[in-house]
């Protein structure tokens, strides 16, 4: 399977869109001051920026490239397989890092007394 630069960019954009949709916490809004909640959510999202998303993506891309190259050695196309592995590994790393950021945000909101439902 060949991954050209356009497909790689498209995959990364798709991952970014999916990531932004999945990371918003859902809370029970009964008896919640929504203005205060918005301030707390912004604070908690700021805390979550401490998750090293770039580092996770790079490590996953490197691991994917190694696995792809190994498979490519068997299939006879090392370069293409390594590139494909790097793209899919990087995308997986981004998803993993975003889920960790979302979890940090949810935990922060719970610690501030919100009933987080997801």
What distance in Å separates the CA atoms of residue 67 and residue 98, rounded to the nearest whole number?
A: 23
Count of domains observed in the chain:
1
Q: Residue 85: inside a domain, yes or no?
A: yes
Q: Are 103 and 110 in contact (CB under 8 A)?
A: no
Residue appearing with tokens 């998303």: 53
Residue 53's domain comprises 5-111
Q: Residue 116: inside a domain, yes or no?
A: no
Q: What is the pLDDT of residue 1?
A: 47
Q: Residue 117: inside a domain, yes or no?
A: no
Q: Residue 101: inside a domain, yes or no?
A: yes
Per-residue model confidence as pLDDT tens for the chain (118 residues): 454 555 555 555 555 555 455 569 999 999 999 999 999 999 999 999 998 776 655 555 555 555 665 656 666 665 655 566 556 555 665 666 788 899 999 999 999 999 999 9
């Amino acid at each position: 399977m060949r991954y050209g630069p356009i497909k790689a960019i498209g995959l990364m954009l798709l991952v970014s869109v999916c990531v932004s949709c999945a990371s918003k916490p859902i809370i029970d809004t009964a008896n919640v001051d929504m203005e205060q909640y918005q301030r707390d959510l912004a604070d908690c999202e700021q805390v979550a920026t401490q998750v090293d998303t770039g580092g996770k993506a790079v490590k996953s891309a490197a691991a994917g490239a190694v696995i792809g190259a190994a498979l490519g050695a068997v299939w006879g196309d090392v370069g293409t397989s390594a590139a494909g592995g790097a793209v899919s590994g990087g995308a997986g790393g981004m998803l993993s890092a975003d889920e960790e950021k979302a979890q940090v945000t949810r935990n922060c909101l719970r610690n501030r007394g919100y009933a987080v439902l997801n």
